[in-house]
Every structure is written in C-alpha cells, then in structure tokens.
Structure 1
Amino acid sequence: MRQLYHFWLSPFSRKVRLVLAEKKLDFELTAEPVWERRDDFLLLNPAGEVPVLREEDGTVLCDSSVICEYLDEVYEDEPKLFGSDPKERAEIRRLVAWFDGKFNREVTDHLLGEKLLKRFFSTGTPDTKVLRAGRTNGAYHMDYIGWLFERRNWLAGDHLTMADLAAAAQVSVIDYMGDINWSKHPRAKDWYMRIKSRPAMRDILADRQASFPPSSHYAELDFE
C-alpha cells in the first residue's frame, strides 16, 4: 500500500491527505519526526521535509505541490483537481500558490511555529508579537476567502478544486489551534462548513495530540 510520511499539523501533509482521500486512493500514514533528521528518511527526501509519498511501485515523491499534481495526472478519475482548461488551471494554481505561500508564510508559520514548533525544536517560548501578527494576518485572509466564496460556487470556480484543498489544509491547522474568530467571517465559515462536511475531511477532523488538544469546535460540522 502507498505510504505517506507526514506530520499531523503540517498543512502540506494535510493537503496531500485531502487529495488522496478525494481520489479515493488507499494509503497508510507514517508520522515522521522531522526534527530528528533520521537517516532513513533523509534517503527518501534529502531536504528532510514532509510530506513524502511512497507509491506502491516504490516511486518516491517529495514536495506537496509535486505530489498533488502527480496524483491528479496519474489518477484521472474525478475530481479533476487542477481543472480542464488553461484559464481554469491558471486561477487554480494562483490560489494554490496564495495558500501554500502567502497564507502559510503570514499566518500558519507565525501561529504554528510559535505555539508548537518551538516546543518540538526547543527554540524558546512563544513570542506574543508574532502570535498577534499571525492572527491579524489571518483575519485578512479569511476575508479574502469569504470574498471569493461570495462570487463563486467554490474558491476557484464552479466546482471543488485544488484551491479549496490547499485552503482547507491551512485553515484546518489554524482552526485546530482555535485562532479563527468565525463570527467575524460568516462567508468564510459557510465555505469551511461546506468543505468540512466532505468525507475527505473526516480523518483530518479526527486528528488529536494529547499534549496539544484542538479547539472545542474543531470536529463539529456546525460550529461558532
């Protein structure tokens, strides 16, 4: 069976998990403590980063963008997550780059980095200024999600695409930590409730870490 090396709160690992689930592809999860820099894992990915996907034929794929495009090309059954024409693909890729890059850099890195990763890497205590910046930036991004969803059926157009999965991967991490005030972002909440109810989200909503529990509403489909 294919194997996904992941970290449970890595948005990029979550993005690949969502693609695999939407494609209905069986896989096993292997939690990878990247901070240990295991030799066996470095042989799979010299960058020492998750996610890494090992296919059933032994093919090893690294980097979430590479993995997701590979899966969409090789497993062509619906849904086609990167669209069917050049204009649609351009908009999907623009939004994927937004969430993988801008959202992750301005929001997730600040909040996850300060709240959790500093603990794992033993690099100090959370910086309240960085946390405040992450939450402020997050509000702007949630407004943008709401703006997109007001004008489209899904974030990139009429149907679910990779843009929605990339966004859901980031948002689910922030929501796990309880850093979204949903009452201020009703349209973004409508979008998230919609994607949260998809079967592909079930395993992600079941994620738990005893030493770092989720927000009280994390797994609820109807939430405040």
Structure 2
Amino acid sequence: MGRHQRGTLYGVSLSPFVRKVRAALALKEIQYELVNVMPGAMEPEFLAKSPLSKIPVWEEGDGFSLPDSSVICAYLERIQPEPALYPEDPRAMATALFWEEYSDTRVVDSGTPIFFQRVVRAHIFKQSAEEEIVRRHLEDLLPPVLDQIEALFIGRDGADGGEITIGTLSMWSPHVNLLHAGVSIDSKRWPGLAAFLARMNEHPLLAAILEEERAALASF
C-alpha cells in the first residue's frame, strides 16, 4: 500500500465529503483506518479535532489532525504527490478548485435532501420519506444545477475522459449519493454528465468504494 504514515479518517462512508477523501486516499495508496463518527458529534474529544463538528477529520499517529475534506485532500497531495489530483497549470488548477467548491456546495445542497429522505430516513431510520421534499428537489432544484454542470463543467477539467483531478473527484462524489437514492441522470437531457459519471463509476478504485457502500446499505 502507501509509502506514507497510516492515518485515521473520522466520518461515515456515505458522506460525499468522506467519500471524496477516501477516493483520494485510494488513488494515492495511502493506508488509513475509517472510524465512524456522525456529523454534528459534540463530544469534546471530537470537537478538539473538528471545531465545526463536521466530517471528515484526518488524524495521524502523532496527534496531528485536520478537519474539512478540501483541506485534507490538499494535504494528501503534498505528502503523496503521485498521482497528482491538482493540475500543474495555474488555470487548470484554479478551475479544478472552483469545481471542487461548486460540488461541495451547490451539488451537495441540491441532492442531499433527496438522499436523506430516500436513504437515511426510509432505510436507516425506518420512517416514511417526505415525498414532497423529494419531488421539489427532483423537479425544481436539482435540474438547474445539472444544466449548469452540463453546460460549463463537461469537457473541462478532465471531465471529457482525462485524468482524475480534485475537481472531477469532487463532482463525482455527491452524485454517488443520488445514485444510492435511485436517481439516474437523464442521458438525453444531460448526455455529457451521464457519460462522465459512468466513466468515473467504472474506475476500479472508485467502483470498489461504490460497491462497499452498496453492501453497507443492503445490510439495513
């Protein structure tokens, strides 16, 4: 496996932010242990590692810790530069960072309520999903985001089939949550995005993460 110090990743695997870091760790062959911690955990020990009580948190054996998926991925790039997730070209790097931010905010915000209702609420909490919330996001809130991605992201930042970058990895991760929630991307309306996600899901390391999550969901 990796040449660098093994660390601990705190979080839950179904979080798009945890998944992003897990994918980076897998691509860079860095060994780690995943410790399940829910977002919003208020234990003093966890708050000392994550003052905002967010996941994931990365911690190394000497006690050094980092919260926030974007910060963790940038750190991993420094300790294990290959394979590079951040392009050398300044413009390409800046573009990748923008799409990371876009994915971590707009894509996550538009899709998380669907995932929460259909997966967390229905299968984990064993409660009825509030279908009106799902409908509003599927019909009103998510499509404009997918329109933007199709128009502005596809064909840039490696989304046309090039190497994986922090931008493409970040774009892929929240769409996995939609996949778990039974949402398929309409290949007629968003052909570029549908093809991009299919390629990402077929990558051996990313496919392994996806299958692990599917197995975990099947246990509920």
SS at match of 2:217: coil
Per-residue Cα deviation, 1:14-72 (whole angstroms, up to 9, x for no partner):
11111111111111111113455333322322322210011244310101111111111
Match of 2:217 among 192, 196, 209: 209
Quick check: 165-174 or 186-195, which moved more?
Answer: 186-195
Relative to 1, partners in 2 of residues 1:58 and 1:194: Cα closer, same or farther, differing over 3 Å?
A: same
**CA separation of 1:45 and 1:174: change in aligned 2, threshold 3 A:** same
The TM-score normalised by the length of structure 2 is 0.81
In the alignment, is the contact (CA less than 8 A) between 1:22 and 1:200 conserved in 2? yes
Out of 10, 13, 35, the position equivalent to 1:8 is 13
Alignment of 1:1-150 (within 5 A): 1-34=6-39, 37-79=42-84, 81-108=85-112, 110-116=113-119, 126-136=129-139, 137-147=141-151
Q: Which residue of 2 aligns with 1:165?
A: 169
Residues in 2 aligned to 1:22 and 1:60: alpha-carbon distance in whole angstroms: 21
Q: Which runs of 5+ in 1 are unaligned?
A: 213-224
The code of the aligned residue for 2:86 comes to F
Given that 1:146 and 1:191 are in contact with CA atoms closer than 8 Å, whether structure 2 keeps it comes out as no
The whole-number CA distance in structure 2 between the counterparts of 1:42 and 1:194 is 38
Rounded Cα–Cα distance in structure 1 between residues aligned with 2:154 and 2:106? 21
Q: Which runs of 5+ in 2 are unaligned?
A: 1-5
Partners of 2:142 and 2:92 in 1: how far apart? 26
Which amino acid is 2:117 matched to?
E
The alpha carbon displacement at 1:127 in A equals: 3.7
Q: Which amino acid aligns with 2:45?
A: D
Identity %: 27
Contact 2:161 2:196 in 1 (8 A): no
Mapped partners of 1:173, 1:62: distance in 2: 21
SS of structure 2 residue aligned to 1:69: helix
Deviation at 1:150, TM superposition (A): 5.3
Q: Decide whether the 8 Å contact of 1:12 with 1:169 is kept in 2.
A: yes
Contact 2:119/2:181, CA 8 A, preserved across alignment: no
Task: State whether residues 42 and 53 of structure 2, in contact with CA within 8 Å, keep that contact through their aligned partners in structure 1.
Answer: yes
TM-score normalised by length of structure 1:
0.79
Aligned length: 209
Local SS of the residue matching 1:151: coil
Find the residue that maps to 2:103 and give its secondary structure: helix
Letter in 1 for 2:100: V
